[in-house]
Amino acid sequence: MRAFVLPLAGANTVELAEVPKPLIDADELLVQVKAVGVGIHDSYFLPQDASYPFPIGIEAAGIVAEIGADTTGVHPGDRIAFVSSMQPKGGTWAEFVAVKANSLIIPLPAAVDWVHAAAIPVAGNTVLRALHALAGIPSGGSLFIAGGSGAIGTLGIQLARQHNWRVGASASAANHSYLRSLGAEMVVDYHSPDWVQQVRQWMPDGVDGALAVQPGTAAQTLGVVKNGGQLVPISGDNPVPERGIEVVGIPYQSDVRAEVLQLMADVAGEKIHVELEQVHPFGDALAALAKVQTRRARGKTVLELP
Ligand SMILES: NC(=O)c1ccc[n+]([C@@H]2O[C@H](COP(=O)([O-])OP(=O)(O)OC[C@H]3O[C@@H](n4cnc5c(N)ncnc54)[C@H](OP(=O)(O)O)[C@@H]3O)[C@@H](O)[C@H]2O)c1
């Protein structure tokens, strides 16, 4: 099969290669990949015991081709989206991938096509977990998203509106009307030196909670949060808390499976819009990765396979 691989341990180049289809164990399924969600860490997020050449990638949508003897709940022919990360046999930038049956597997409603399905698993899972950490914000409360125009932010704005939270978000000016169309009540340009003060004009006591999506944004984002509020740094920043603000890590132990399924149902029902920066043919995967690594992609970047 064709796959984009790291050829050797320690290699810093990803290349298109012809590699064997993975063989599945009893607790795995083999998936024929139809579309891949591209993430900034795809080229270096890999397990210690990776076997080489190692196909990269951690999320995709596709058709179940085979199931292992101990696998229940999925059948050959099922359409699914999934997260499959840190698996020594390799990841999703491939025509076929072995997926552990206990991975996050999302059955696909007929109305969701491959490319939109592949855009959801990692961003959806991440933002739903982050919102779990902010579950104490009441209806009518407020959320600020530093990084509103990317894959996580565009879903986050819409999910926050489902909680009936008032939403502010940052992005470049070119994306402001778009963020408003998703439900943001106020938008600021993070290039403006006084964007924190602009958020404070909107919410003088500060917002109840904030998500800092991009690395390096959490310390400044603390400034928009009310005394005793909450901040979730999604990229792992570790700002020094101030004014009683609680800095909360993403609760990885939270079970958001049901919410991810609901999110997919809402995409099918056109209640949630999935923004795609661009859909690239599989052969253009490296250009897609380069775009995502600029951190300027609007929504999600996806690879499509025949
Ligand atoms: N912890 C986890 O489980 C987890 C999982 C997935 C991702 N992540 C992290 O989340 C980040 C990626 O999120 P994503 O996929 O939503 O990002 P993304 O798609 O790369 O976001 C791109 C957007 O970020 C905006 N942006 C760039 N710099 C910004 C800044 N300084 N302030 C505010 N916005 C800025 C850009 O906006 P404009 O173009 O409008 O300027 C662009 O639209 C990565 O750093 C990754 O490490 C964490």
On whether both 194 and 299 belong to a single domain, the answer is no
On whether both 29 and 72 belong to a single domain, the answer is yes
Rounded to the nearest integer, the mean pLDDT of the chain is 97
| Candidate from 213, 220, 253 with most ligand 1 atoms within 8 A of CB, to mutate | 213
Q: CATH code at 197?
A: 3.40.50.720
Per-residue pLDDT, averaged over 73-91, amounts to 97
Q: What atom in ligand 1 is closest to the CA of residue 146?
A: 33
Q: CATH code at 97?
A: 3.90.180.10
- CA angle in degrees (0–180, nearest 5) for 85-88-91: 45
pLDDT of residue 281: 98
On whether both 142 and 80 belong to a single domain, the answer is no
Backbone angles phi, psi at 177, to 5 degrees: -65, -30
On whether both 226 and 299 belong to a single domain, the answer is no
- Which amino acid is located at 76 in the chain? P
pTM: 0.97
Residue 262, C-beta contacts closer than 8 angstroms, at least 6 positions apart: none
Per-residue pLDDT, averaged over 221-240, amounts to 97
Which letter, b or e, does each residue of 253-282 get, where b requires 16 or more Cβ atoms within 10 Å of its Cβ? Answer: ebebeebbbbbbebbbeeebbbbbbbbbeb
On whether both 147 and 242 belong to a single domain, the answer is yes
pLDDT of residue 206: 98
Q: 268 in a domain, yes or no?
A: no
% the chain with pLDDT above 90? 97
For residue 191, how far is its CA from the centre of ligand 1 (angstroms)? 15
On whether both 202 and 97 belong to a single domain, the answer is no
**Residue whose CA is at the smallest distance from ligand 1 atom 42:** 296
Q: Domain boundary residue among 247, 262, 285?
A: 247
Query: Using an 8 Å Cβ cutoff, are 166 and 185 in contact?
Result: yes
On whether both 92 and 129 belong to a single domain, the answer is no
pLDDT tier, 205 (very low <50, low <70, confident <90, very high otherwise): very high
Q: For the chain, percent helix, then strand, then coil, each to nearest 5?
A: 25, 30, 45
- Enclosing H/E stretch for 66: strand 59-67
Q: 254 in a domain, yes or no?
A: no
Shortest CA distance to 169 belongs to which of 204, 214, 199?
Answer: 199
Q: 160 in a domain, yes or no?
A: yes
The reply to whether ligand 1 has any atom less than 6 angstroms from the CB of 169 is no
**Residue whose CA is at the smallest distance from ligand 1 atom 26:** 147
Q: What atom in ligand 1 is closest to the CA of residue 300?
A: 19
On whether both 170 and 238 belong to a single domain, the answer is yes
pLDDT tier, 194 (very low <50, low <70, confident <90, very high otherwise): very high
**In terms of residue numbers, what domain contains 211?**
123-247
Q: 25 in a domain, yes or no?
A: yes
| Omega within 30 of 0 (cis) for the link into 107 | no
pLDDT tier, 250 (very low <50, low <70, confident <90, very high otherwise): very high
Query: Using an 8 Å Cβ cutoff, are 77 and 63 in contact?
Result: yes
Number of domains in the chain: 2
The model's pLDDT over 28-60, given as tens digits with 9 standing for 90+, comes to 999 999 999 999 999 988 999 999 999 999 999
How many other CB atoms are found less than 10 A from the CB of residue 180?
15
On whether both 114 and 191 belong to a single domain, the answer is no
Q: 266 in a domain, yes or no?
A: no
Q: 129 in a domain, yes or no?
A: yes
Q: How far is CA 36 from the centre of its chain?
A: 12
Per-residue pLDDT, averaged over 96-122, amounts to 98
Taking each helix axis from N to C terminus, what angle separates 121-133 and 151-162, rounded to the nearest 10 degrees? Answer: 50
Which letter, b or e, does each residue of 163-172 get, where b requires 16 or more Cβ atoms within 10 Å of its Cβ? Answer: bebbbbbbbe
Distances (CA, A) of 66 to 31, 34, 39, 70: 7, 15, 26, 12
pLDDT tier, 302 (very low <50, low <70, confident <90, very high otherwise): very high
On whether both 16 and 111 belong to a single domain, the answer is yes
Residue 151, C-beta contacts closer than 8 angstroms, at least 6 positions apart: 37, 119, 122, 123, 275, 297, 299, 300
Q: 262 in a domain, yes or no?
A: no
Question: What would you report as the CA-atom Rg of the chain, rounded to the nearest whole angstrom?
Answer: 20
| Candidate from 234, 237, 260, 278 with most ligand 1 atoms within 8 A of CB, to mutate | 234
pLDDT tier, 102 (very low <50, low <70, confident <90, very high otherwise): very high
The reply to whether ligand 1 has any atom less than 6 angstroms from the CB of 154 is no
Chain position carrying tokens 């992005």: 171
pLDDT of residue 275: 94
On whether both 115 and 156 belong to a single domain, the answer is no
Q: 263 in a domain, yes or no?
A: no
On whether both 116 and 130 belong to a single domain, the answer is no
